[in-house]
């Protein structure tokens, strides 16, 4: 210990000052880097745990919330439109079935008319 104190005492003062300054600089830069690293990819505020962690990495929190709101609205409208499209499809299918059925009835009626026409011609003779 005495040897160490004597050694430090024998060093020129500027050397000790430079040593202290460099040491302070190293720890300062290290601390700054650590804080920046922690902040760089922090989860987005107001976002769910899962989504926030991903969105926070690429865009800022406010933008992320706006995008999530817009996306939810579009998804909701799309779901409504999908439901309406399904109902329209069902109606078209029902009408098509009715049209096919009516076509059958028309064919039957035409056959009956032909039969009646033949009967009238035969009885006229």
Partner 1 sequence: MDHQPYTGTGLWVQITHRFGPRMPEWFMAGHTAVFGFVLLIAPELFTQPTWAGFLKLFSWLPPDAVQFYMGVGMLIAGLARVAGLIVNGARKHVTPRIRQVSAGVGCMIWFGITYAFASSDVVSTWLAIYPLFGICELVNIHRAAHDEGETRNGRTG
- Judged by the rule CB under 8 A, the positions of this chain that interact with partner 1 are 7, 10-12, 14-15, 18-19, 22-23, 25-26, 29-42, 57
50 vs 124, which CB is nearer to partner 1?
A: 50
57 vs 98, which CB is nearer to partner 1?
A: 57
Cβ 64 vs Cβ 55: under 8 Å? yes
| DSSP H/E element including 34 | helix 13-40
CB of 71 to partner 1, least distance (A): 24
- Termini Cα distance of the chain: 146
CB of 76 to partner 1, least distance (A): 32
- 125/114 Cα distance (integer angstroms): 17
């Amino acid at each position: 210990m005495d040897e160490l104190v004597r050694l430090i005492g024998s060093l020129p003062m500027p050397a000790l000052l430079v040593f202290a300054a460099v040491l302070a600089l190293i720890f300062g830069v290290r601390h700054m880097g650590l804080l920046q690293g922690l902040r760089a990819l922090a989860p987005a505020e107001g976002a769910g745990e899962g989504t926030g962690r991903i969105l926070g990495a690429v865009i800022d929190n406010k933008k992320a919330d706006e995008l999530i709101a817009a996306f939810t609205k579009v998804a909701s409208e799309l779901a409504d439109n999908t439901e309406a499209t399904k109902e329209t499809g069902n109606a078209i299918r029902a009408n098509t079935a009715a049209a096919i059925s009516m076509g059958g009835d028309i064919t039957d009626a035409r056959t009956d008319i032909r039969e009646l026409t033949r009967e009238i011609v035969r009885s006229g003779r």
